[in-house]
Amino acid sequence: MNAQLLQSPLGDAPLEKPMVPLPARRDIRGDVVLGVVVAVLLALGVVLVARFPSPHLSWWTVALAATCSSACGLVGCYLVLRKMSLLGDAISHAVLPGIALAFFFTGEITGVPIFLGAMALGVLTTLLTQTLRDYGNVPEDTGMGVVYTALFAAGVIMVQFGARQVDLDPGCVLYGLLDFAALNTTTIWGVDVPRSMLTLGIALALTVAFIVAFWKELKITSFDAGLATAMGYRAMLVHYLLMAVVAGVTVASFEAVGSILVVAMLIVPGATAHLLTDRLGWMLAWSVVVSVLSALYGYALSRWLNVSVAGMMAVVAGAQFALAVFLAPRHGLLVKWASSVRLALRIVGEDIVARLYRGEEANAAGANVTGPLAADEAPPQSDVHHPATAWARLRRAWATSRLIDTGLARRTADGQLLLTAAGRQAGRSIVRAHRLWESYLERHFELPLDHVHEPAERMEHYLGPELQTQLAEQLAEPAEDPHGRSIPPS
């Protein structure tokens, strides 16, 4: 209940016993179904990959893909929560000058200096973007576009003039070499391990360590940076550290998925996970699951279609996001539509039950029930009485059928619809909720009598027995509603 239930709108003293909102009941059936489907898909993906020739090479390629996309997906969750998804795109392009500078000073194209140079440019990209926003009166998206394109162009020029002897294949930078990365191996404890696995494994381990070490700070700054600052956390420092990690993961992913496709791995797993859950911990876990599924099915489809593994991974990740948009247990469009339809059908059925109960009530009082009910007591939905549209008639027919199937109503020999004992009890509860809410509005909001029926008509479908009891206690167990009709007992 909102704050208006705690005191009258005219500023009177608070009510003696405010209503207590009931805890929301979470339906986990959708989550269970989703978990089963994902488990089946994982098992099927494993079977598909195992059927290809050279299973050793196949599994190392899948492991590289899963490690790379998982590292990107974990940091991508925080970018999604901060509404900064495109900043990953900006950083993935803007780190090129850092890589070039690191090469100028060290002469190496791999190793720690490359990571440090990339991290420095990642932080610089964020700093320049925010400086333009705060001091240059430039919108953040515009500043981001200007900064990353300028830095990326500068990096290209630096590579052309200062590193001509270095073989920087544009295809490698854009699309990665995931198809062949498993062939370049080194021996560790007698096992041939792809060299890229060392880089990606370290990047994933450092990403997980960073999230664990700064879990509380990342959580509060991602959801409310202002509150974090007020509580004494250094929100900007955490932000810059996160951007440095994003830059490091981006560089580590260059060889695997390239600087372009890394953007998909930074955004899509996190965005998909955001649709599947409202909990940060589960969001991180789902991003890893989406990443693993992208690796398994991306590799399998790429072998079948003879296309790039990294490109097919991005396609599979996008397909998972599209499915989540429609079928996510709580936020999917189809799920929301089905929930709205179920609610509409339930309301139609409850309106029928309430009308039948009021008819029996009037009949018991000796009134003529062949005519229409009083205007302030008749439900306003036209489809309850005289369905005018095909959809309204279908709703009424379906609701009536459900009432009969569930034992709330029955048909007589001449076709009349009557309540059963269970239906009569349900009708009593609905009418009781309606009249209690009318009494509440009339007493505490001082609404005219002709203004209390319509809101009560809506609220009667949401006031269960517990809230009805609270209302009755607040109103000192009223016997009649504002129109003088008796309020049924609980």
For the chain, 490 residues long, the average pLDDT of each consecutive 10-residue run is: 38 45 59 85 89 84 90 92 82 78 73 76 82 82 84 81 58 64 78 83 93 93 88 88 85 71 86 92 94 92 87 91 91 89 90 90 64 42 53 84 90 87 91 91 84 88 88 87 86
The reported pLDDT for the residue numbered 397 is 87
Q: Up-side HSE of residue 245: CA atoms within 13 Å toward CB?
A: 28
**Same structural domain, 268 and 351:** no
Per DSSP (E only), the strands in 323-464 are: 409-411, 417-419
> CA nearest 65: which of 275, 308, 257?
257
The reported pLDDT for the residue numbered 114 is 75
**Same structural domain, 347 and 257:** no
Contact (CB, 8 A) for 118 and 253: no
Q: Give the predicted TM-score (pTM) of the model.
A: 0.77
Which residue range(s) make up the domain with 139? Answer: 56-331
Cα 60 to Cα 69: distance, rounded to the nearest angstrom: 14
Residue where a domain stops, chosen among 284, 308, 331: 331
For every residue of 304-346, which 3-state class applies, written as one string? Answer: HHCCCHHHHHHHHHHHHHHHHHHHCCCCCHHHHHHHHHHHHHH
**Same structural domain, 268 and 226:** yes
Number of structural domains in the chain: 2
The reported pLDDT for the residue numbered 25 is 55
Q: Which helix (H) or strand (E) holds 187?
A: strand 185-188
**Same structural domain, 313 and 378:** no
Q: End-to-end CA distance of the chain, in Å?
A: 21
Chain CA centroid to CA 347, Å: 27
The reported pLDDT for the residue numbered 207 is 94
The reported pLDDT for the residue numbered 10 is 33
The reported pLDDT for the residue numbered 321 is 95
CATH number at residue 358: 1.10.10.10
> CA nearest 119: which of 142, 144, 91?
91
Residue where a domain stops, chosen among 289, 316, 331: 331
Cα 277 to Cα 265: distance, rounded to the nearest angstrom: 19
Q: Which residues pair with 409 in a beta bridge?
A: 419
The H helix count followed by the E strand count for the chain is 20, 4
Is the C-alpha dihedral spanning 55, 58, 59, 60 positive or negative? positive
**Same structural domain, 130 and 245:** yes
The helix/strand/coil state of 188 is strand
Q: What Cα–Cα distance (Å) separates residue 66 from each residue in 3, 185, 188, 471?
A: 48, 18, 20, 55
**Same structural domain, 307 and 358:** no
